[in-house]
Structure 1
Amino acid sequence: MNLLLEAKSTHLKSEIKVTGSKSETNRLLLLKALFPNITLANTSNSDDSEVMQKALAGSDEIVDIHHAGTAMRFLTAYFAVSEGREVVMTGSSRMQERPIKILVEALAQLGVEISYEKEVGYPPIKIKGKKVTASKVTLAANVSSQYISALLLVASKLENGLELTLEGEITSIPYIQMTLALLNDLDIQTRFEGNVIKVYPKETVVAKEMVVESDWSSASYWFSIAALADTASITLSSYKQNSLQGDSALIAIYEKMGIQTTFDGNKMTLVKQPNFKYETLNFDLNNTPDIAQTIVVTCLGLGIGCHLTGLHTLKIKETDRLEALRIELTKLGANISVTNDSLTLGLSETINSNVKIATYNDHRMAMAFAPLALKVPIIIENAEVVSKSYPDFWEDLKQLHFEVSTL
């Protein structure tokens, strides 16, 4: 499905309810599988979360998680410690190109037996679940935080807990802290000192309702829209001022693009500041790589340059996001260069209109480029990919006077 996006007004005022955080939901779904007496509210309606829920509830020997990278990593750890369970974890062709070796080797340190069905280091993988008594694992610190969180989520159910030593500079600390905070909410004891994380064993938890905060990565597109409008007052719910989600860094980042953020209870309002003076921006996104696409597109729309670093994990996402950004932004007339871990956008005076943006089976490519419709008509190819994290995105966009037409 290809969509033509055109903005019918650049003066925006609306209120949007954003689906629950995919990151929090998937962590809590796994914890609920381990501790069935907890209940969940405001869970994400994303494809990834539905895939995760289905896999945890099912008893199939083959578990296909399609494009869901978080589910692949979290479920690998879950099935590895599910005593007596044997499964083959597989996914889409792209998922079979995304590395899993680091997590498999970490689980092997705990004595778990995992073998590769095709290419060494990549799904599909065969897991023979077992009771784990070993409790020490060493892992490179600069890998995807999902490998680390996968181990931490199952750690309290190991007979002796887990002591995880991270070697080198740690990537995406906020996501690790989110995992630990959710464990702490369930009174599971943890300790994070220096490069060592310890999770203590816990057989049962007290029954409790866990309410999922709305997704900050999904909020990023509304920050971008507010920045690119002539005037904007956009209210989003349900958000916390002191969020567990690392992407709440959006508030400080978009302040440098003229957006003032205020809170009233669980509602967050984004207001564009008049006569704001823009300058070239430099951001280290080591802790928040998922918002890089949104930021660089916003900068293009504002006609300002940016230099983004800390992006090395983007090459192993749904697509090689750095290369995808280079290709698609170049189509729009941007002056852009990328390395293995950075992106530089030069000043662009004009934006080419009616450009077809390829999405590469990547939900964030589709949504990150959509705000540019405030500047020029734009075509998003395979627009249905947004269902991976934010199925209601196109309908929500219409609330802000965007015309969304199927081609």
Structure 2
Amino acid sequence: MDKYKIKSIFKKINNDHIIKVKVPGSKSITNRALLIAALAKGESRLKGALFSNDAKNMIACLNTLGIKIDVNEEDELITVHGCGGMLPVKNANINVGSAGTAARFITAMLAFSSGVYHLDASEQMKKRPMKPLLDALINLGVIISYDEKEGHFPFALDSREVKGGKISLSTAISSQFLSAVIMTGFLLENGLRVDISGGRESLPYVDMTVKVMEDFGLTVNKVDEDGLISYILKEGNSYEAREYDIEPDVSAACYFYAMAEILGCKAQVQGVYLDSIQGDIEFVKLLTKMGAVLSEEKDGIIIQGAINGEYEGIEANLNSFSDQALTLAAISVFAKTPTKITGVAHIRLQESDRLLAMKKELEKLGIRTEMGEGEITIFPNSMDGADVEIETYEDHRVAMAFSLIGLRRNGIVIENPECSAKTFKDYFQILDGITSILSL
């Protein structure tokens, strides 16, 4: 499917209708649990797992390193035969594809596993930043030689002489760097202390990492010494295999809750609750500042969108749940007043320059924006219904977020919708079902 034209259903539906969906398991939790289970002692069963391109890339990398993994997509079950912290393969060629989590997590694990490896990636991943992590690993004694551009894939990695110690690591660009080293630092002979520098305002994905680690039996020591935050991983610790339930992906759920706001109807995503360990749950709460009403039911949170789809714009700092910046942008074009999104400079270095993509594609629709280095203000305006093709930049979040606009504005055509398979391969099929049912 090269293109997908969204069916506009605004004011063609009964606002008492409810969008009820089930979304895949969390990408973030699935890939953390995969890596941790691979290093655990014994056999782990991951229930409710995600089978996106990113998860498949992680599984392929672990397979190459000698980890046996049994996959049952129909039952959403992954069985991982852990290696007890001793990777069976000490010399290998690894390709992480376009998966940012695999890229960062696998790199740190190999840096702490006393072997010689060559790591490659997709053209898209080659453009994404790795330098803060790689520089920290070099400071520990890892020998890295770059095939192409310094600080980027592809590169060779020799970790045979690495013993552990202390590193300083910036999380300004990505908190995945920190998650990567704390998940695997215990593998080092002398353990690892990680001092945080140049940090982001909050690190919900790191908190998630720590929670999954603790669920598999490994304690993380976090200390605050006069404002300097450090994570300490002691050598000799280990993960214990277990049966593990993976939460539904809240990042995916947010698109359906956003639909409720845009259309003025209700939405419920099965199994999504306010106590989720995923940072994007804050976006669901944020919708209440735009006139939505939130209630938590037995089967999951229900969002009642603003009545008749009429709501005000807001100013919001999305630093800690920036995957939803594009989603908020889609909602904002139908608001009565401007919306300002701040705290998102780092999204310029993700699968695409998401801030620039937002600006370019909104301006195609006649929506004026003002963009700063880490912020954007969106000025809603009436839009005609002429066909407009939305470029997706091979970025799943651009594709899914801009599809939301098409539910209320005629003529939105999404180019390369299949890029959504990175995290949510059935998104557009589910969207088909929603528009068909609601517009009956």
Change (3 A) 1:304 1:219: farther
Q: Does 1:382 align with 2:416?
A: yes
CA distance in 2, matches of 1:94, 1:205: 33
Q: CA deviation at 1:341?
A: 0.7
Q: Which moved more, 1:364-373 or 1:392-401?
A: 392-401
2:244 counterpart residue number: 210
CA distance in 2, matches of 1:259, 1:178: 27
Secondary structure of 2:103's aligned partner = helix
2:50 counterpart residue number: 44
Q: CA deviation at 1:78?
A: 1.5
Which AA in structure 2 matches 1:329?
L
- RMSD of the alignment, in Å? 2.0
**Count of paired positions:** 401
Correspondence for 2:107 among 54, 73, 76: 76
Q: Does 1:116 align with 2:146?
A: yes
Q: CA deviation at 1:183?
A: 1.2
CA contact (8 A) 1:337 1:345 kept: yes
The superposition leaves residues 58-98 of structure 1 with CA deviations (integer Å, 9 ceiling, x where unpaired) of: 148332222212211111111212223x3222122221111
Secondary structure of 1:94's aligned partner = helix
Structure 2: 5+ residue stretches without partners:
66-90
Correspondence for 2:173 among 137, 143, 154: 143
Secondary structure of 1:241's aligned partner = coil
CA distance in 1, matches of 2:161, 2:384: 58
Q: TM-score, normalised by structure 1?
A: 0.93
Q: CA deviation at 1:112?
A: 1.6
Q: Does 1:32 align with 2:32?
A: no
Change (3 A) 1:402 1:62: farther
CA contact (8 A) 2:23 2:270 kept: yes
CA contact (8 A) 1:366 1:385 kept: yes
Correspondence for 1:262 among 285, 295, 303: 295
CA contact (8 A) 2:318 2:342 kept: yes
1:7 counterpart residue number: 8
Q: Does 1:280 align with 2:313?
A: yes
Q: CA deviation at 1:129?
A: 3.5
CA distance in 2, matches of 1:93, 1:168: 28
After TM superposition, the structure 1 = structure 2 runs for residues 5-404 of structure 1, keeping only pairs within 5 Å, are 5-8=6-9, 9-11=12-14, 12-37=17-42, 38-59=44-65, 61-84=92-115, 86-130=116-160, 132-194=162-224, 195-230=229-264, 232-265=265-298, 267-274=300-307, 278-350=311-383, 352-377=385-410, 378-402=412-436
Q: TM-score, normalised by structure 2?
A: 0.86
CA distance in 1, matches of 2:96, 2:46: 21
Q: CA deviation at 1:351?
A: 5.1
CA distance in 2, matches of 1:83, 1:209: 29
CA distance in 2, matches of 1:43, 1:183: 17
CA distance in 2, matches of 1:362, 1:111: 35
Looking at both structures, which has the greater relative contact order when contacts are Cα pairs under 8 Å and sequence separation is at least 6? Answer: 1
Q: CA deviation at 1:278?
A: 2.9
CA distance in 2, matches of 1:41, 1:246: 21
Secondary structure of 1:40's aligned partner = strand
CA distance in 1, matches of 2:371, 2:123: 25
Secondary structure of 1:319's aligned partner = coil
Change (3 A) 1:320 1:169: same
